Chain A
């Protein structure tokens, strides 16, 4: 199993998913992220799924779970770079991502996190 690398930029954690996601990969990512957030005290998490072609209902739900977990550490989650096909699939599956924010690309995702950080100064 490949571990998805988690990079730290300032107080934001970036997980760029470059592989076809399996259920266990996402579960591992969730665990790793939770650990890294509590370790670093990051205030934002960005999941970059630009390279992801296929998303099923389980993985869709896991995005929401990751966001909910991050919220417990007072960190916001932004999913960036979702492909049109993936978005259509998720809508057809009837999934909403709950409190997950989305952005077209990494740059806009970082902008959203910066804005959220300003609104709630810590």
Chain B
């Protein structure tokens, strides 16, 4: 253990003594592949901070990149990777930030400025581990972005619109899955309560495919609305969807279905006692 710690101290001392040379070269090497998309000043600030945290961690004598000594380094790296991911940098461009330090260090060793093979191996392993950590953080940040977008899409594509006093409509567009139908169902029912509308129209003109599960969800929505005291009409069933529904043997029971949204609206208005006459008196 004594040799181990002795060598470590050597590495720490080296990193401390050569801090300026290494940081400068590191910034230079990292800046090249980014092609000016990130200002050198900003990169310099980031990497100097990272370097000081890394140096502090190395000085503790600990060499486990996943240990508690490196917690600050990992936090800072995650932060930087996250920012890179959101700014649209590629994984390579993100990870090069870590690996460039390795190259800077190798160059230092090449000039034989007091570093032994042991130091090179130790630092190399350390930076590899941190590089992988960068990748992971990057991937995680990207996944978060995707999740957020999926959620926004869910919100965006399920508006509840008011067609008339007491008549609501939900135009469904795209592919229906359980999660989306659940959102639609809850939103529609909430809107029924808040507006006091007694009629709701679910328009599926924009739905490309209906399977048994989707039909089941639609039926459940209609039943739930009915339990709350509102009537639900399904409109806009495309010809091939109608064929699928019949082919699958799905029973819509006594739920009114209409060909178009206009028909459904007319039906809803009739049920709520609204009658239309032309301005000139003709029907």
Contact = CB atoms under 8 A, between A and B. Distances in A.
User: How many interface residues does chain B have, given as a range?
Assistant: 10 to 19
B223 interface: yes
B242 interface: no
Interface in B167-217: 185-186, 189-190, 192-193, 196-198
B271 interface: no
B186 A84 contact: yes
A104 B189 contact: no
Interface in A86-109: 86-88, 90-92, 96-97, 101-105, 108-109
B199 to A, nearest CB: 11
Contact of B230 (A78, A83, A104): A104
Of B189, B198, B224, B227, the most chain A CB neighbours within 10 A belong to B227
A83 B230 CA distance: 12
A113 interface: no
B225 interface: yes
Contact of B228 (A78, A82, A96): A82
Contact of B185 (A88, A102, A103): A88
Contact of A104 (B190, B220, B228): B228
A79 B228 CA distance: 8
Contacts of A105: 196
Given A87-B224, A88-B185, A103 B193 contact: no
A87 B223 CA distance: 8
Nearest to B191: A84
Contacts of A109: 229
Given A82-B229, A88-B220, A104-B193, 14 more contacts: A78-B229, A82-B227, A83-B193, A84-B186, A87-B227, A88-B189, A91-B227, A96-B223, A102-B227, A104-B192, A104-B198, A104-B230, A108-B229, A109-B229
Interface of A: 78-80, 82-84, 86-88, 90-92, 96-97, 101-105, 108-109
9 closest Cβ contacts across the A-B interface? A84-B189, A102-B229, A103-B229, A87-B224, A87-B227, A104-B229, A91-B224, A82-B228, A91-B223
